[in-house]
A and B are shown apart, each in its own frame.
Chain A
Amino acid sequence: DSGVTQTPKHLITATGQRVTLRCSPRSGDLSVYWYQQSLDQGLQFLIQYYNGEERAKGNILERFSAQQFPDLHSELNLSSLELGDSALYFCASSAQGAAAGYTFGSGTRLTVV
């Protein structure tokens, strides 16, 4: 157990729907990062939050949004889902920044049918 908790582990939903993925960071970590992993694109950075504030944005689609709550857990919202959104979504956390290394959760496998 890495200390980073992601729920749910698996999600199957239809095209056009909206889902919410949840992440609880390791105790004491203030930064949360979201990544999308697909076979052909590898690990793609989506977005980072630090203590409730957005700090960096990657190639995150407009249909996707995220937030970090006062208790430091984070949610990634994916809407108007398309078949191509099927992937593994990972959350990671760190005590300070990326240059101190991340701890990843076990991921949420999203299947859009």
Chain B
Amino acid sequence: GENVEQHPSTLSVQEGDSAVIKCTYSDSASNYFPWYKQELGKGPQLIIDIRSNVGEKKDQRIAVTLNKTAKHFSLHITETQPEDSAVYFCAHNSGGSNYKLTFGKGTLLTVNP
């Protein structure tokens, strides 16, 4: 199916710790996996993405890993800061579709100073 399961729904960490959010999908034809960050009162913003021909991608403190065999992908944030507090959404293009992205239900990350 096209749904994507995202866990956990809420995550609270201390500043400086790492945070990991995981998403699981079922459609083997999906080949594009972006992550979005949504701050209060704003629209979701693309922070990192990965394609199915790559296993890992890193951008400063943010990394995404993809396990195509197990059909899951994860967002890793290291050295968390209070400004990382937001809702994070994973997404995928179910069926390899170029027409839409299907989103997970989101993870509320709180970084405590």
Contact = CB atoms under 8 A, between A and B. Distances in A.
A42 B98 contact: no
A33 B44 CA distance: 13
Nearest to B32: A99
Which applies to chain B's interface (DSSP): helix, strand, loop or mixed?
A: loop
A97 B80 CA distance: 32
Nearest to B49: A101
A106 B101 contact: no
A103 interface: yes
Interface in A47-103: 48, 55-56, 58, 90, 92, 96-99, 101-103
Interface in B87-108: 89, 93, 96-106
Contacts of B99: 48, 55-56, 97-98
Contacts, number: 60
Interface residues of A, number: 23
Given A55-B99, A56-B100, A102 B46 contact: yes
B99 to A, nearest CB: 4
B31 interface: yes
B100 A103 contact: no
Interface of A: 2, 4, 33, 42-43, 45, 48, 55-56, 58, 90, 92, 96-99, 101-107
Interface of B: 31-32, 34, 36, 41-46, 49, 89, 93, 96-106
